[in-house]
Amino acid sequence: MRARRLPNRAHAKVIFRHHRSNRNSGRPPATSSSMAAASTERPLQQEPPSLDDLSPSLHGFFVNCSPIQDALETPTSRLQHKTVDECMPFLTGEEHAQHNRYGVPHLDRAKHVRFLHRQLGKLPAGFTSADPSRPWFFYWCLAGLTLLGEDVSGYRGRLMATVRPMQNPEGGFAGGFGQMSHLATTYATVLSLALVGGEEAYDVVDRRTMWKWLCSLKQPDGGFQMAVGGEEDVRGAYCAAVIISLLNLPLELSPDSPACAAGHSGLFSGLGEWVGRCQTYEGGVSAFPGVEAHGAYAFCALGCLSIIDSPHRSIQRYMNVPQLISWLSSRQYGPEGGFSGRTNKLVDGCYSHWVGGCWPLIEACLKGPGGPAPGPAGVENAQRAAADEDCLFSRNGLIRYILCCCQDMSRRGGLRDKPSKFSDAYHTCYVLSGLSSVQHQWSLTAARPHEAVLTGDAWEVSPYLKGEQIFDEEDRVCTTHPVYVIPQHRVQEIQEYFASKQSF
């Protein structure tokens, strides 16, 4: 019997809503002004860093609270102050048994690795509501382990056996046997298969039915529905572009696609325009045209545009880049150093990826393959900033938020949204992806000749070494492709395998 379920929303908040979200540390929250006093009372293995130690590497913006304070108190401003108070003792090193002279603790690899392996095993009953998201857990854990330098190919057999029954005869993967195919679970499954690697893993995917199913999701306005009859949003645009380009699917539309009636002839036709319509008056990107901009959707938009053409052409063509940069820049908060997902909301470790992961794509858009691309007026200032002062945000501010505030240093391990939240697989994956991106420098070294082809873009990566390094070298994590968020060689392997296949 086939149980029809509503398409599941991907955000982990939904998955973890039954968990207690606030942990009472049994200690009154420290305020920023009580910081100095508190640090002299509590003996530490090392003295907390002085502001002089921090200032060469961190702008004052990340050391002190903003001198400009809005006098109007609202629930929003109270929550923001509470978050600063919660983070401060972690940012100064006060909360950490060990830290370096910048107040930054080590990345506790062993604990995070153990946490992720545990999340791939049998989970407690509280996770039943997360059952339709099982492919997400595979992706988050396998991607997280890979970022920590673990070999995940040993999971190949188990993964193949688990996802095989989740593939539907109509194409695509569901979150479980007997459920409906969904773009998010299909995306997570395809990436998981790519992560474990190997031809037998790639061959689990039925590419012919996958192509047919994607054609049925392609809409007359150019976008993609997440499931047949489901919502159409920018996650769909990104997931579809990732799946199509990794599996080397034909770009032609099947004549029975709902998009054909509107004159579209290809899976990517009208997609850039549709994504462009999701840019809001704030400069950010919303789930679909007309709603609130959110960081997760900015990444989906830029990722999708970087697949349908080289980013220096497609992002410039479909987005107002100066406005997007202005909105992305506003996501980094001081003194926390982390990113928020939207205006007037709080920092959260997962936006280290959703927002932090936008920066390499923005840089590629501004610089193009070797040298600035000609762009509309207003882009030049940003180009100059990206060219000489290495980046458009504070790398050290973000690194400090991640290592100081996002690690669960207890036996549990794993990474988290902020100190008062529990770690989970979703945050572990995306905090580590963000850490990887901020610790490395990506550049587009070659571009495809024109948008009609998908191959030819070459991305190069090196450790980011400019300026003062506030983390220890052993805490640099592995690299991950800025568009696909799996290692570059895994992207290449799956693409080469399917490129070698003549047809379905």
Q: How far apart are CA 53 and CA 292, in angstroms?
A: 40
Q: Are strands 440-446 and 458-463 parallel, antiparallel or unpaired?
A: antiparallel
- Binding of ligand FPP at residue 108 (CB under 6 A)? no
Q: Find the catalytic residue in 112, 218, 294, 312.
A: 294
Size of the site for K ion (CB under 5 A): 1
CA 325 to chain centre: 17
Would you state the torsion angle of the CA atoms of residues 116, 132, 488, 337, taken in this order, to the nearest 10 degrees? -60
Nearer to ligand FPP, 239 or 307 (CB): 239
Q: How far apart are CA 201 and CA 419, in angstroms?
A: 38
Q: How far apart are CA 106 and CA 153, in angstroms?
A: 27
Q: How far is CA 137 from CA 119, 130, 145, 427, 488, in A?
A: 8, 9, 12, 11, 21
Report the residue closest to Zn ion, judged by CB: 350
Both tokens assigned to 356: 């932090």
Confirm if 213 and 276 have CB atoms less than 8 A apart.
Answer: no
Q: Catalytic residue at 101?
A: no
Tell me which of 85, 95, 348, 457 binds K ion, using CB under 5 A: 348
Cβ at position 336, least distance to ligand FPP in Å = 13
Confirm if 154 and 141 have CB atoms less than 8 A apart.
Answer: no
Nearer to Zn ion, 148 or 431 (CB): 431
Cβ at position 235, least distance to ligand FPP in Å = 4
Q: Catalytic residue at 424?
A: yes
Confirm if 459 and 87 have CB atoms less than 8 A apart.
Answer: no
Stretch that binds Zn ion, among 3-11, 384-392, 409-417, 471-479 (CB under 5 A): 409-417
Cβ at position 421, least distance to K ion in Å = 9
Q: Catalytic residue at 342?
A: yes
Count Cβ neighbours within 10 Å for each residue of 106-118 and write b for 16 or more, e otherwise.
bbbeebbbebbee
Q: Find the catalytic residue in 233, 309, 408, 417.
A: 417
- Binding of Zn ion at residue 350 (CB under 5 A)? yes
- Binding of ligand FPP at residue 345 (CB under 6 A)? yes
Cβ at position 299, least distance to ligand FPP in Å = 7
365 sits in the region (left: phi over 0; alpha: psi -120 to 50; else beta) called alpha
Q: Find the catalytic residue in 408, 424, 457, 475.
A: 424
- Binding of Zn ion at residue 336 (CB under 5 A)? no
The residue whose two tokens read 């945050």 is: 427
Stretch that binds K ion, among 118-126, 162-170, 340-348, 446-454 (CB under 5 A): 340-348
Cβ at position 417, least distance to K ion in Å = 6
Nearer to ligand FPP, 148 or 239 (CB): 239
Q: Which stretches of the chain bind K ion, using CB under 5 A? A: 348
Q: Which stretches of the chain bind ligand FPP, using CB under 6 A? A: 10-11, 13, 184, 235, 238-239, 294, 296, 300, 341-342, 345, 348
Q: Which stretches of the chain bind Zn ion, using CB under 5 A? A: 348, 350, 417
What is the set of active-site residues?
A: 294, 342, 345, 348, 350-351, 417, 424, 427
